[in-house]
Amino acid sequence: MPFKQHDVAVHIQALALVEEGISVNRVMQITGLARRTIFDLKKRARERGYNPTLSRALKMEYVEDAPRSGRPKVVTEEQRETLLAHVRSSREGREKSTEELGWLIGVSARTALRTLQEAGMSKQKPTWKPGLTQEMREARYHFAMRYKDWQLEDWKTVIWSDETSIVLGHR
């Protein structure tokens, strides 16, 4: 079950209501806190120095949640914003690898990828293709006009090397 964290204001409200003599069931309805949470709040406040017989003032330190345990975050909020701004700013930034982006902010490529995924970004293949210039169009037209009357036997002697490397004298 995921950890549900409530606002400090809700904690203060619940503790104040309990201290005023409101029933725990009613406090649960008002605040949405669980019974166990309300009793834990009351216990923790007393352990932290709250004594309603001396003073009924509730201080933040009585009800604040303790810092969560676990490994600290590697990426600071500033680094995160720098990374996202760099990716969002230009096409050049979007085309960089996570390794390059990680190096930019001083984290690993995996951490950079995780940061981008948390921001809702994912890998995308570019959807555009470069257009033809007017010179390219004219060259293609002249080529087509020059060889429009060739037969199949003529084309069998042509080697197209746009995607293949050719070494003459070999298979």
- Find all residues with CB under 8 Å of 67, minimum gap 6, and list them: none
Domain boundaries, the chain: 8-63, 77-118
Could you give the CA distance from residue 60 to residue 11 in angstroms, rounded to a whole number? Answer: 10
One digit per residue, the tens of pLDDT, for the chain of length 171 reads: 445 667 888 888 898 898 888 999 999 999 888 999 899 988 988 888 888 888 888 888 887 877 777 887 788 899 999 999 999 998 888 888 899 999 988 999 999 999 999 999 988 776 777 788 999 999 999 999 999 999 999 988 887 777 766 677 776
Distance CA 12, CA 33 (A): 12
